[in-house]
Amino acid sequence: MKNFDVIIIGGSYAGLSAGMSLGRSLRNILIIDNGKPCNRQTPHSHNFITHDGKAPKEISDLARQQVEAYDTVIFHEGSVIKLRRKDQGFETETSAGEKFYTKKLILASGVKDIMPDIPGFAECWGISVLHCPYCHGYEVKNEVTGILSDGDMGYEFSKLVYNLTKDLFLFSNGKSVLSKDQKNKLAQNNISLVEDEIEKIEHENGSIRKIIFKSGKEISLKALYAKIPFLQNINASGDLGCELTEHGFIKVDSMHKTNIPGVFACGDNVTMMRSVANVVAQGNFTGAVVNKELAEESF
């Protein structure tokens, strides 16, 4: 069994950023990653200064190259399937049966988006079905756009997207739960609420052409925003007892500490604000906090 100061689970933007803070602090680091970042289907990543418009992999490949240049950092390709508390630290086990031991653990494992059962949706995810107006809204400004959501979430999201285009539909995919006031406000802003159930999304290589409804109605679109559910990629609550928030994020304090001493979390697994810039900042900060904790303990 190999011993490390810190094991980081997830070697994407958050994990690599934490790895850089720690590697530069002469900590003995293992980053374990199974190569499935959530944005892998999106052709261009936006809104991360100095890398605007680059392919997501181009950004993460460069990050990995820079982090691996530190001889304190080891990058290991593998899937962590089990976490255990062991002695004063933690043991991680991969699907290949490898076991690694660490004093501190950083969970930077992101989340898995759960695609709705709508034919065409998964193929368009990250290409023309969008998770965030800050990342992709500018590219489809003033285009005919839909939002797949309902209730308060759909209503609030409509306000944001309305700033980018006035050609806007809100698809509740069944009878809407919006209040009368919310419906009136949408109508005042010429946002069409469509309550028909969606049959499928017609697309060409992920570029949306139209939404086809079970009623036979069809609406041509350029982009569709969607708020979809997610799952954690790692069972930190079951394996270690890490608390989750009511929305399913790993619960951390302002120092990115979970409720389990020695276990930290950063990135999409702790935040609603899913952007590369945000998680890189979180990873950088978390690395520094973990380094400080190690320094305190050994002084």
Among 74, 208, 279, 289, binds ligand FAD (CB under 6 A): 279
Establish how many alpha carbons lie within 13 A of residue 123's alpha carbon, considering only the half-sphere containing its beta carbon: 13
Cβ atoms within 10 Å of 263's Cβ, excluding its own: 22
Residue whose token pair is 């490949």: 61
Shorter beta-carbon distance to ligand FAD: residue 78 or 89: 78
Q: Candidates 96-104, 125-133, 198-206, 256-264 — which segment interacts with ligand FAD by CB under 6 A?
A: 125-133
Shorter beta-carbon distance to ligand FAD: residue 26 or 273: 273
- Min dist CB 298 to ligand FAD, Å, is 28
Binding residues for ligand FAD restricted to 157-216, rule: CB under 6 A: none
Tokens of 244: 């989750």
Among 158, 176, 275, 286, binds ligand FAD (CB under 6 A): 275
Site for ligand FAD contains 226 (CB under 6 A): no
CA angle 264, 266, 269 (to 5 degrees): 110
Among 7, 10, 169, 250, binds ligand FAD (CB under 6 A): 10
At residue 277, the 3 state secondary structure works out as helix
Among 170, 276, 289, 290, binds ligand FAD (CB under 6 A): 276
Site for ligand FAD contains 252 (CB under 6 A): no
Residues in contact with 207: Cβ distance below 8 Å, sequence separation at least 6, in sequence order: 124, 127, 128
Site for ligand FAD contains 107 (CB under 6 A): no
Say if residue 298 is exposed, middle or buried (CB neighbours under 10 Å; 0-12, 13-18, 19+). Answer: exposed
Say if residue 208 is exposed, middle or buried (CB neighbours under 10 Å; 0-12, 13-18, 19+). Answer: buried
Site for ligand FAD contains 140 (CB under 6 A): no
Site for ligand FAD contains 242 (CB under 6 A): no
Binding residues for ligand FAD restricted to 11-50, rule: CB under 6 A: 11-15, 32-39, 41-42, 45-48
Give the count of residues interacting with ligand FAD (CB under 6 A): 41
Among 80, 164, 170, 289, binds ligand FAD (CB under 6 A): 80
Shorter beta-carbon distance to ligand FAD: residue 114 or 295: 114
CA angle 116, 120, 125 (to 5 degrees): 70
Contact by Cβ (8 Å): 196, 217:
yes
**CA dist 237 to 97, 263, 273, 287, Å?**
21, 11, 22, 22
Residues that bind ligand FAD (CB under 6 A): 9-15, 32-39, 41-42, 45-48, 79-80, 108-110, 113, 125-126, 131, 135-136, 233-234, 267-268, 274-277, 279
